[in-house]
């Protein structure tokens, strides 16, 4: 059952808002993503079976279901995990960027400064001044940009990952629980940034208001491995499920 966390329930903290704005480097075409018969399992448990859907260029899809199933689908679509069966194909005009739920691998053992860490994911011609300014807008100011990524807090790592994604200028973004570890101000900034985003999106979240204000399509992975796929807002989807006796 999705926890009905509301933004108002989270205590405001710093009152400093990061600037989160996802620009796209290329206009996206009509052919975005086709999923054909994907099946996945883990530890002998079927996560989803023979699922099929196509993604449209204006879709902002929220995935519902078990955390394991949702993460597995996103990992497969980003080639971080292999499916047991089935295929998927991204459109030729698409470029993807992925916010992974478990992103510690990007930070572990790194002795770089934050500026050097971010430079790995930025165009070659970007100056240190640009990167410092970029980090400043994400609330890393002054001496903080010299921090080692390996000592960052959970919320700081999330802001770094979002910075990495913004520099990618992808026209399709995938986000797996991006609000984890964020304070209210950062969640609101991310919420507004994703509402403004002009590309296509697949995301997961346990935050009711976050989902309702962003998603225009819902794909729920059911316990039997099938999916419900509706071009509805989250609240409309819940009402539809209730009317069908599916809750």
| Domain extent listing, the chain | 31-107+152-244
Q: Could you tell me what percent of the chain has a pLDDT over 70?
A: 94
List the beta strands (DSSP E) in the chain.
Answer: 33-42, 45-55, 60-64, 85-90, 96-99, 172-176, 200-204, 217-221, 227-230
Q: What would the pLDDT profile of 5-28 be if each residue is shown by its tens digit?
A: 565 565 555 578 999 999 999 999
Phi, psi of 87 (to 5 degrees): -140, 165
Alpha helices (runs of H) in the chain, residue ranges in sequence order: 67-77, 114-119, 128-137, 154-168, 184-196, 208-214, 234-243
Q: Report the range of poorest mean pLDDT among 5-9, 19-23, 218-222, 231-235.
A: 5-9
Is residue 43 pLDDT above 70, yes or no?
A: yes
Which two tokens mark 103?
């992103």
CA dist 238 and 232 (Å) reads 9
Which 3 state secondary structure label does DSSP give 5?
strand
pTM of this structure = 0.92
Would you give the distance in Å from CA 145 to the centre of its chain? 24
Where does 31-107+152-244 sit in CATH, by number?
Answer: 3.40.50.300
The pLDDT value recorded for residue 5 is 53
pLDDT tier at 142, thresholds 50, 70, 90: confident
pLDDT at 1 (0 to 100): 46
pLDDT-derived band at 109 (thresholds 50, 70, 90) equals confident
């Amino acid at each position: 059952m999705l926890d009905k966390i509301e933004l108002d329930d989270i205590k405001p903290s710093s009152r400093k808002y990061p600037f989160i704005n996802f620009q796209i480097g290329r206009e996206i075409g009509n052919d975005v993503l086709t999923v054909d018969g994907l099946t996945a399992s883990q530890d002998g448990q079927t996560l989803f079976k023979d699922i099929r859907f196509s993604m449209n260029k204006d879709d902002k899809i929220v995935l519902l279901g078990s955390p394991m199933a949702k993460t597995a689908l996103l990992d497969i679509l980003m080639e971080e995990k292999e499916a047991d069966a089935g295929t998927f194909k991204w459109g030729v005009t698409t470029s993807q960027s992925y916010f992974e739920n478990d992103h510690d691998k990007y930070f572990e053992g790194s002795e770089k400064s934050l500026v050097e860490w971010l430079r790995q994911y930025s165009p070659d011609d970007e100056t240190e001044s640009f990167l410092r300014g970029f980090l400043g807008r994400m609330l890393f100011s002054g001496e903080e940009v010299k921090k080692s990524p390996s000592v960052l807090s959970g919320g700081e790592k999330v802001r770094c990952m979002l910075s990495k994604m913004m520099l990618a200028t992808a026209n399709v973004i995938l986000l797996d629980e991006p609000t984890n570890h964020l304070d209210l101000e950062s969640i609101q900034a991310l919420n507004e940034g994703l509402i403004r985003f002009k590309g296509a999106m697949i995301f997961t979240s346990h935050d009711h208001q976050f989902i309702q204000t962003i998603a225009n399509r819902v794909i729920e992975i059911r316990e039997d491995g099938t999916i419900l796929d509706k071009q509805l807002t989250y609240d409309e989807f819940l009402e539809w499920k209730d009317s069908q006796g599916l809750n």
